[in-house]
Amino acid sequence: MLTLRRSSRAALSLAVLLAPLSAFAIDTVHRKSQDKSTGGSITTINANEVVVTQKVGNREEKVPANDIRGVEWDGEPADMKKARSFEGGSEYLRGKELFEELLKTDLKPNIKTDVEFYIARLLHRSAQGDPAQAKEAIDKLTAFTTLRKTSYRYYEALGLLGELALASKDYAAADKAFDALSKATWPETKLAAQIGSARVLLAKEDFAGAKKIFDTVAGTDAKTPAETSQKLEGTLGQAECLMNDKKYAEAIKSLEAVIDQAAPTDTRLQAQAYLRQGDCLRLMGEKPKEAALAYLHVDVLPNFAAHKDLHAEALYNLFGLWGSLGQADRAERAESRLRDEYPNSEWTKKLGGS
């Protein structure tokens, strides 16, 4: 009898281990800091974390919201994966349209919230290259941060809203978003909020106020890659303040430090540093070829050119430099690409003409 009972228990354990995954509710949390994912049933969600409960052993794992790359939900529509892939391929409006179709279906609440976020973020990405999308993006992000304060995407949405409000010169809205972002618990997010506030001051030409904040962030004792990224954002801001004082040589040294120390994946930060490096060399008036080379980084390297607003700025400056260097054909190509690829960009409008 004892042997039979032991055999039965063993058979039952084996059956559980071999049961198809579909027999359990499996949500998969993809993390930024780890190659592996965390699977189980998400039982708690708030702005700071999600809690994943694993059936085997009834073990709970808390995943900080700032470490979540994305969630694949149990029972999510098959088209969710396809819609997400459009963002990775920079097909932002196609992704937005597919998510909007999904939003019309009967979605579980958590999936619906994620879909709303994806729509807002895709609009944000699109607005970087096409400012005509900015209003809708800001409306979506404002609605999300107002109605979805308990979402694990809440703080990320606040950062996107602040960035886009700043780009749209709505400084009051940007300040409000960055102030709310500063309430996050993670050091790198607090630093990002400080950087955002400093950039608002910079846009308002309060250079002394901006420099004070940039100096503080650049002097941070960074302990993680994410904190290091924000620290370098502070160094970038310091360089921009030096440029305002026409201290171009000093600014270039700071920008070289940013380029050298930035992580390979921190492509936006590197692209910004190359743009400012090009600005310094151009404004010094002595090194137009070196300036063109700096701007070319943002044009020819796909990971840099993927940041559409920065790519448009690079093309505009290359148009002017090629002309001054007597390379009319390259100037014409830069102008043509700027007009064709970014018809609504502020940099295209600076070209004038038809």
pLDDT tens digits for range 284-295: 988 999 999 999
- List pLDDT tens digits, range 221-235: 999 999 999 999 999
- Give percent above pLDDT 70 in the chain: 92
CATH of 23-74, one of 2.30.30.100, 2.40.30.10, 3.40.50.620, 3.40.50.720: 2.30.30.100
Chain mean pLDDT for the chain: 92
Helices 308-324 and 288-300 meet at what angle, rounded to 10? 150
- List pLDDT tens digits, range 122-136: 999 999 999 999 999
**Sheet of 27-31: strands edge to edge?**
59-64, 49-54, 37-45, 27-31, 68-72
pLDDT band at 18; cut points 50, 70, 90: very low
- List pLDDT tens digits, range 297-345: 999 999 999 999 999 999 999 999 999 999 999 999 999 999 999 999 9
pLDDT band at 145; cut points 50, 70, 90: very high
d(CA 280, CA 248): 5
Instruction: Give the least confident one: 89-98, 115-124, 191-200.
Output: 89-98
- Is CATH 2.120.10.30 the right assignment for the domain spanning 75-181? no
Q: Is the pLDDT of residue 354 over 90?
A: no
Question: Which amino acid is residue 46, in one-letter code?
Answer: N
Q: Is the pLDDT of residue 8 over 50?
A: no
Instruction: Please report the pLDDT score of residue 198 as a whole number.
Output: 98
Q: Is the pLDDT of residue 156 over 90?
A: yes
Q: Is the pLDDT of residue 3 over 80?
A: no
Instruction: Please report the pLDDT score of residue 25 as a whole number.
Output: 62
- List pLDDT tens digits, range 21-57: 444 569 999 999 888 899 999 999 999 999 999 877 7
Q: Is the pLDDT of residue 352 over 90?
A: no
pLDDT band at 5; cut points 50, 70, 90: very low
pTM for this predicted structure: 0.89
Q: Is the pLDDT of residue 17 over 60?
A: no
> Is there a shared CATH topology between the 75-181 domain and the 264-354 domain?
yes
Q: Which of 239-244's residues contact partners 24+ apart within 8 Å by CB, and which partners? A: 239/273, 239/276, 240/202, 240/214, 240/276, 241/202, 241/207, 241/210, 241/211, 241/214, 243/276, 243/279, 243/280, 243/283, 244/207
What is the residue extent of each domain of the chain? 23-74, 75-181, 264-354
CATH code for the part of the protein at 264-354? 1.25.40
